[in-house]
A and B are shown apart, each in its own frame.
Chain A
Amino acid sequence: MAKPILEVKDLNVFYGGIHALKGVSFEANEGEVVSLIGANGAGKTTTLRAVSGIVPYKGSVTFRGENLANCPPHVIVTRGMAHSPEGRGVFPNLTVMENLELGAYIRKDKDGIQKDLDHCYELFPRVKERLAQKAGTLSGGEQQMLAMCRALLSRPKLLLLDEPSLGLAPLIIAQIFEIVKKVNSEGTTVLLVEQNARMALKVSHRAYVVETGKITLSGSGQDLLDDKRVIDSYLGGP
C-alpha cells in the first residue's frame, strides 16, 4: 500500500572539500508528509538541493519511478516536483502576481492555472490582497506564503519545503502548518525540512533526524516526538 514517490539512496554531496552529505537514504511515500529535522549545518537544505537537482551528488534519486541522475532542475519541475527554497526565494523586484505566474511557468492550461490561482487565494487570502505589490515589500510571513503558493502553482506531486517557519511569529507558523496539512490532504506529498521539530513532527507521518550529513534516527512523527534522544536534542526537554 505504501508506494514510494521519492527514493533517495546513499546520497553524497561535496562542497569543494566539505563532505556535506555522507550517504543519506530515505524515502517518501505517496500521500505522506515526511520531515527531515536536525541542527544547523546538519545537511537538510543540501539534501533538498540535491533532490531537486540544484547541487551535483553521488548516489541515486528516484522520483515517480524515474532516476533523476543528470536531470537539471528545470526538467525535474516538469516531472512533478516543486521546491520552495530556504529563505523563500521570492523575486523581490517582480510583483506578487508575476511571481505567481512564474510558479506556473511550465504550464500552458490557462483555465487550469486560473483555477489553481483561485484555490491559492483561498488558502492564502493575504497573497491575493497584494498581487500588484513588489514581492520584496512583503513581510516575511507573506513572502513565505507567496513562496508556497508559487511552488503549488506548478501542480506538484511532491512539494519540498525548506524551513517554512523560519523567522515567523508563532501565529503565522501555526497557519503555515495548517496549510501544509491541507495541501497534503488534497493529495500532494510533502517533504518538509524544519528546525521547529515539534511542529514538524506533529504534522508528519514519518520523519528522519539528520546529523552531520547522516540520518541517525527515523520513525513515525509520533514515535520521534516520544523518543528520548529527540526530546533531549531537538525538543528542548519534555
Chain B
Amino acid sequence: MATKWPENRRVIGTNVPRLDGPEKSTGKAKYSYDINRPGMVYGVIVRCPHAHAKIKSIDTSAAEKMPGFRALHLIAREGTELYYAGEDVLAVAADTEEHALDVARAVKVEYEVLPFQVKESDALENDRKTLAPLGPRRERDNLRPPQTQESDEFADGMKNAEVTVTGTYGMPVISHQCLEAHGLVAEWGADGGLTVWASTQAVVGTADALARHFNTVHKMDMAGKVKCITHYMGGGFGSKFGPDVQGIACAELALKAKAPVKLMLDRASEITTAGNRPSAYGKVTIGGKKDGTITAFEADTWGTPGTGAARTVGPLPYVYLFQHKVKHTVIRLNLGNQRAMRAPGHPQSCFFTDCALDDFAAKIGMDPMQVRLRNIPPDDVNAKNTDPLSYPAMRGTLYKKQIEIAAQLSGWANKWHPPGKGGDGPIKHGIGMALHTWGGFAAGPNDVTVTISSDGTVLVQTSTQDLGTAQRTVNAIVVAEILGLEPKDITVQIGENPFGRSGGSGGSTTCPSQAPASLLAAVKARDEMFAVIAKKLNAKVEDLSITKGKVVDKASGNEYEWKKACALLGTSRPRGVGTWSGAEAAKQANAGLSKGGVGGVQVAEVLVDTETGVVRCKQIVAVQDCGLIINKLACESQVAGGVIMGLNYALFEELIADRATGRIVNPDMEFYKLGGINDMPKIIVHMIDMPERGVIGIGEPPTISTHAAIGNAIFNALGVRVPETPFTPDRVLAALAKGAK
C-alpha cells in the first residue's frame, strides 16, 4: 500500500520555531562567506568598465609583482568582446583581501570601446546591433523577432466589446540583492579532490558543474571528487543555481595558488553581474461589456533580459482565460544577463493583467472586486473527473473563496470607493486587489536518508539547501511525526552533495520534493526498526506501532519508551532512504503526497500624499493556499516575506543604467532602495489549509501580486494610473500632473 500522510497529525502543521534559529540569530552559523580555512587567500575579479568593448591588451606584469600576489586566472583574452559594464576579465588572488584589491587595481587592460545600448526605448527607436551574434544567422540585433499568440475567438471578443480601455504599464530591471553575495571558498585536497563552500541554491548542481569544468578544460577525472557544502546561505531568490564565472575562477585560483581561496563578490559586482529581474513594459487593451464581462485582452509587451535572449514576461493574460492576442519583443541590451527571480515572469504578467482590469472596471463604473468575481476562470469540468485535486479542477471555487476572505479581512466593502474619491485633504486613501497563481510541484529526484541508532538518536541526511525557508525543520517535523518524537529530537544534516540527489531550490519545488522523501525514509527506517525489535519483544511486526514517545505492541498492550525500544537495536542501525520527484508525484497511487498549482489574492491599502507624492502602504492582506502545511509558523513568515519583497518592487526598487556611460549608477544599497521596518505596513496572512492535496511549495507565489495590488490601491486613491513601478514620489506627481490636464 502506498504511504500516505498520517491522518491525525501531531507535529505537522503546527508552529515549530526553526531548529537552527539560535545559531543563525547569534552569528554562530557559518555561511560560505564566513568560512576561514587555514592558509586561505583572497580572490578578486577584474571587470570591464565599458558597456561594450574588445580587449586590446592585458598587462599583469605589475600586478604580479605586488605584495602578497598569489595567482592569476584569465577569464577573457586579448581580442575577447565584452558586452556589458562589469563583465569578467580575469581573477587574481593575494594573501589578504586588501592586497587582492591592490593587485586587481594594478592590472592594466586596454580596450577598444564599441557602441552600446542600455535603454529599451533607444533600441526600439534605433537598433544599433550591439550584442553578441546569435542563432544560425549570427545576428547582432538588439531587437529579437516578436513572439505572437492569438486565441481562436479573439477577434469576436473585441467585436463584442461594448467598452475598451487601453493603458501602458511597466516595471524596470531590478536586482535580487541577496544579502550574502554570490561566491565561495574553494580548497583542493591532497587527494586531488575539490571542496567548495558555496553560496548556492543548487548544492548538487554546483558540484557537478565544477566537476564538468575540470574534466573538460583540464582533462582531469573529477567524478565523485567535488564536494559542495552549503550549510547556510544568505538568500538566492533565483540567482544562485551554479558555480557561475566566479565559482570556476575561484577553483582555478585555488589550484594555481595551492591554497584555499575565498572569492565573494563585492556589492557592486553582485548587483551588476550576478543576475537581475528583466524589465517589462507594455500596452494592454481590455474589451468587455458594461456588466463587467471581459470579452477580449490584447497586450503588446517588451522588455530586456540584458545580454540574454529570454522572454521577460510570463503567461498573458494572467490567471484569467480571456480571449487574447499577445505579442512580446525581447530587447537585448548591454546590461548584465537576467536570471530567474522569485516566480519568473509572473509579477510582470500579474501587473499587466490586474492593473488593466482595474482600469477597465473604472471605465464601466464597477467595483473591481466584482469584475474579478465575474471573470475568474471557472472550475474545469474535465479536470474535476480526471484529477480532482488539480488547480484547474478547483480554481473557480478557490479564487471565489479567496476573494471573499480577502475582502472580509481587509474590510473591502466599507473601504472601497470609486477611484479618485480617496478623501478631501491632500492625503488620499486607496485600496486595491490582485490575483496570482503558481506551481510549486515536486521536481527532480530528492533523496532523504533516516538512520535510527540504539541510543535513540535519529539522523536525517539530504543534500538539499536551505534558502531561508527553514528546510531542516521541514525534514525534522516529518520524521518526528512518524517516529513519535519532537522536531528538536531529530538531527538534520543538509547541504552536502554526498548525501544524495536533490534539485536546485527553484520553482518552489524543495518542500514538495523533500517532505514526501522524508516521510518515505522515516517509514522505511521505522519498519526496519520494528523488524529488528519485534523478535526481541516476542511481538509480531504488524502489531507494532508508534505513538508519542513510545512503541506500542497492540497484541500485548505493552508500551516501550522510545529510548528503551531503540536500546534493543544493539548494533543494528535501521536506515531508510526515501526518494521523491515530480514523476513519483504524478503516479495515481501516490496522489495526496505532493501537488502543485495554487492561487492567491492580495489586498493593499495605501495613503498617498498628493503634495509630496509619497506613498505609504498601511496594510496588506494575503490569502494563500498551499496544500498540506508542514510548518505553519515558517509558512506564514514565508508569505509575509513574499509580500514585503512585492512591496519593495512596488515602492522602491529600480536598477538604473546610465545612457551616457552604459554603467549602472546605483549598484549599492543607498541608491538602490529597499524598505526598512519603518516602511512596512501591517501584514495579515491567511493560509487556506488543504491537506488532502499534499505538500505544495510556497516560496514564490506570495510575492507575485503585491505590486499590482499596491498599484491598484494608488489608482483607487488618485483616480489616475501611475503606470510604472517603483511608485516613487516623482512618478506619482507626474501622473497627477498628467491626470490634471
A and B: bona fide binding partners:
no
A interface residue numbers (CB < 8 A to B): none
